[in-house]
Structures are given as structure tokens and as C-alpha cells.
Structure 1
């Protein structure tokens, strides 16, 4: 013999508490899972099967930010003997630019003609233009998400916020109807956490992280832990070392120049890694968990009411 839950005359919204809890839990689970699947389509990025390795500038922009990209370029120029730093920390040209220098290397080299600080290089309009184009290419190819794409991804959180709003409305309705709402509160907490977590959108796509990891594996000989010689590997390898493993690679490879150019202070100010590639920014991941509360025959919801009555769901 089966029993059905019949709404009592005093049930909030005409739905008994236990029944509402199960319905609401199912609605929240479907909403969160659906949004996560939808987000994956935006944040997955391209397939790595046909992808080519990134340039040092591109790797630096994915791994860190524009400052790391400038540091990687300075590493190449320094390894080639093209730039030097005076006692004031100003960068100057020391030799002709070698053949095959990247677009960013040429831009950075040009602005050091009359002497300029490292911060001045980063903010110079010609350097910014190169970085603007490179970031646009990375976003177009799906390695990073630009501001427009990230805003679009954040809209998915509105679905979960709508579910949260329903639960909050039920909560206040249950309170005004003098019904126990303990279990509903416990259910609203993880849903609220999930909703706010979905507002966070990582700057680097899943494919961007994977290709960065692949390039690090292929270039382990350039890791700071291996103490690579930039003289042996050449300027582009020096740039790639900094781009893949962080600004600390510059400090370990050429501490005298790094100190003169005040790179240590810039590293400390930006939070870029001093030892490996852990200084990656604007890239974070968040995980959401949901929990459900079930009513047992021996538990009570407070105020002497048992779960079989109001069900703690208002």
C-alpha cells in the first residue's frame, strides 16, 4: 500500500515541507549541473591535437600577465647582449638587435634607445600595442577568455541565483507561516556558495592550461631547478624559460642584471613566482559542492516540531 503526501491547509504554498525540500534539491542540482556543462563549452578551448606550441610571449601572457611577457622579452634581449642596465635601473641598448627577434623584442628594444625603467617599458604605448594584438590572438584562438567572453560565462550564474531566490522566498514564507525551516537553511547555504562561485571565471581556458603544461614538460631543461645556461640555449630559450616558469627564472639566471633593473622589486609587487610557474594570475578554479539534509524519524527540527510535520522546509 502506497501513501501519498497530501498538502495540509497550513502548508506553505500548498506544498509540505519534506516534499518541497526534495523538489528544491532536484531543481538546484539540475540547475548547477546544467550551468557547469554550458560553461564548459565556453571555457574548454581548442583541441591540442592540431595546435602548435606557443611563442614565449604567448606563454608568458597565459602563465602570468603583461609584465611577465615584458620580462620574457628582456630575458631574450639580455641573453643576446642587446640591453644593459645602469646604476639608476634604466635600461639602455648595448648592441644591435639579432635576426629573428620577436615583435615584442623589437618593441622593447626600441623603447630602450634613450634609457627607460622596466616599469616605463611595460607602460609604453608601442609595447602595449604589441601585447594588445597578442592577447587578441590568444582570445580568438581560444587559449584565453577576453572580457566579453567572461561576461557571457558569468550570465550562467543567474540561473542558480534564480533558484536561490526561490529558496529564499520559501524561507521567509515558511517563517511567516510559523513553520520550521532548519533543513531549508542548510540547503540554501551550498546553493548560495555555488551561485557566487559561478561568478568567478578563469582567464585561461582549459586548453590554455593544458598546452602550458605540455610545453613545460617539453622544456624541463629550461626550468630554474635545472639552472640552465642562457648562453648555451640562446635568447629565445631564455624568453621561453621566463614565460613558462615565471619571473624567478630571470632572477636565478642573471641576478646582477635583475637587481640593477629592479626586477626583484617588480616581482615582489606583482606576486609573480620567484621559483617556478606558480605565479600564474587571473587564473583560478573553483569547485562547488552541494549537500542535502534528510530527515530521520528520530530527529526534530526545533521548537518541538518533528520532521514529519513541517519538514524543516517551511
Structure 2
């Protein structure tokens, strides 16, 4: 029997569903197929923050800066996880962003310092530098592809809508077509969101640099200078890898929606830093000066 546009209802539904499925498969599968494979060689990374970005993104960079500043005594951490600035202003732009966020009487939490650092111009400059070095993509390479996918969904949505209106006007059953239109609309919205996002990815060159760093950290030889000290450990493994357990626990407090917003953040001015008696490698035992300043339960307990 004849149908709208020369297609019967079942025929149109079949072709429409196939077209939607093809676009979905291309959207999901093509980026995986087109993604560069293998690991390229390259020179040494300029500093530990490039390594941190490759290992964990902007938040890991912020965590590494926190670790470096705590280790040098430029940040102090109390038992409640509040971080306050101490000492002179650091010269590195990333460290300066974190240090400035910890100024004031109450300082800030690790979470707030991360948020400040990831939005800073210093982080944008670091990303741009890594893109120029071929360690990161700019995030714009896939924009033409995502635009084409969005256009395909829009065309299918428009065709389906016109068919729906025409079929309804001709008293044709359009229930199944309505369901497919809902699916097409959802896919169009998802494609629009994906197109609007800027997704920075690690290049094969960056993957190679990260792989060499991980290999150096696990090998029997002395690690490279980038991996030395708490900053290197945190760059590869996060704040949980900070070599002092008490400081690590203080820097990673339990999740609290309003952590650090109340008073009593640093009772009696007590704090722990690597330059104080609660330094890396020491323990907060009762009776010691660190025990009295961090509380009987230990620093960050």
C-alpha cells in the first residue's frame, strides 16, 4: 500500500531507525578508531607540574603544588584539614596561585585551593605550553567531527518531525515515529553538549613521557629529579602518596559539603607543616610537641 513520500509507515520507521543507529555508531566508534595509537618518544618534561597534568589533569597539578609548598614550609596544615599560607611568595605561577588562595586567617581547604588553581591563568598557561610541546591536544581537533554529528541528528530530527506532522494530518498512525523522535531529540541534545565541551587529551608523546616517568619511579635506579620528594610522589599518585601519613590524612579530609567554612579552624594557632615538629617522617605521639599541637589523636586523625 502507498504511504507518505512513497514509503509505508513500517518502511520509514525501519530506515529512520537504521539512520539513527548509524549516526550513533559513528559518533561512538569513530573517535576510538581515529585516536592516535602507540607511544612516541620525546625529551624530558620541563618540571613536575607537566608530569602531574599528564598523570591526573589540573586537579593533580594543584595537589602537587600543595605538596611542594607544604614540604618547603610555605603552607601549613592543621588537624582539621585547613591550609594556611606561610613564608614568602613562591616564584612558580602554579604555586603562587595555590599560595595566594591559602592566605588569610582561615586559609582554605584542599578542595578550595584546587578549584582556585584549576581556574587560574597559570593553569591555562601550563596547558598552552604543553600543547605547544605536543604533550596535549588543544581540544579543538574534534570540533568538526562533533559538528557534523550534530548536523546529522538535526537533519534526522527535522525529517522525522515533518513526517510526523504529515502523517498525523493524513490520519496515519504515528505512535512509533513519535518515540523515535523523542530518541532523536535526546541524541541531538547529547551531541550538542558534547560539541560544546572542550576536551583536552594526552597525545602519544605525552603518553610516552608519562610511561617513562612511571617506569623510572618503579625501577631500581634513583628516580629522575622530577620524581624527587613529596611533589614527585603526589604528581604520580595523588595526595594519598604524600610520604608523611599524618599530613596526607590532613590534606585529604572526609567529604564535608561546607568543610572549612566554620570557625574554630585552627584552635590555639596549632598547625602541622613539614618544617615544624610534625615534619615528614615524624609521628604525632602524645607528649611530643607535635602531639600537643595536632591533638592527642594525631595530625589529621
Match of 1:203 in 2: 199
Q: For the structure 1 residues 115 and 75, does the alpha-carbon distance in structure 2 shift closer, same or farther, using more than 3 Å as the test?
A: same
Q: Unaligned stretches of 5+ in structure 1?
A: 1-6, 223-232, 271-314
Cα distance in 2, alignment partners of residues 173 and 190 from structure 1 = 19
Higher mean C-alpha deviation, range 83-92 or range 102-111:
102-111
| Deviation digits for residues 28-67 of structure 1 (CA, Å, limit 9, x no counterpart) | 34434445566569x8368522356765423433555544
Please, which of 130, 142, 151 is the counterpart of residue 158 of structure 1?
151
Q: For the structure 1 residues 216 and 195, does the alpha-carbon distance in structure 2 shift closer, same or farther, using more than 3 Å as the test?
A: farther
Alpha-carbon shift at residue 153 of structure 1 (Å) = 5.2
Alpha-carbon shift at residue 121 of structure 1 (Å) = 6.2
Cα distance in 2, alignment partners of residues 59 and 269 from structure 1 = 30
Q: Is residue 32–residue 160 contact of structure 1 (8 Å, CA) maintained in 2?
A: no
Q: Unaligned stretches of 5+ in structure 2?
A: 220-224, 259-301
Matching of residues 107-186 of structure 1 within 5 Å: 107=96, 117-118=107-108, 128-140=120-132, 141=134, 143-146=136-139, 152=144, 154-156=146-148, 157-186=150-179
Cα distance in 2, alignment partners of residues 268 and 150 from structure 1 = 37
Output the TM-score relative to the length of structure 2.
0.56
SS in 2 for 1:248: helix
Cα distance in 2, alignment partners of residues 237 and 108 from structure 1 = 21
Match of 1:238 in 2: 230
Matched, 1:254 2:254: no
Q: Is residue 77–residue 105 contact of structure 1 (8 Å, CA) maintained in 2?
A: no
Alpha-carbon shift at residue 75 of structure 1 (Å) = 1.6
| Deviation digits for residues 170-223 of structure 1 (CA, Å, limit 9, x no counterpart) | 22322332222344345445544443333325734264796698468637759x
Alpha-carbon shift at residue 134 of structure 1 (Å) = 0.9
Say how many residue pairs are matched.
Answer: 241
Q: Is residue 56–residue 239 contact of structure 1 (8 Å, CA) maintained in 2?
A: yes
Match of 2:85 in 1: 91
Cα distance in 2, alignment partners of residues 238 and 212 from structure 1 = 20
Q: For the structure 1 residues 29 and 124, does the alpha-carbon distance in structure 2 shift closer, same or farther, using more than 3 Å as the test?
A: closer
Q: Is residue 90–residue 115 contact of structure 1 (8 Å, CA) maintained in 2?
A: yes
Let me know the Cα RMSD of the aligned residues.
4.9
Q: Is residue 247–residue 267 contact of structure 1 (8 Å, CA) maintained in 2?
A: no
SS in 2 for 1:90: strand
SS in 2 for 1:138: helix
SS in 2 for 1:155: helix
Cα distance in 2, alignment partners of residues 163 and 174 from structure 1 = 16
Match of 2:276 in 1: none
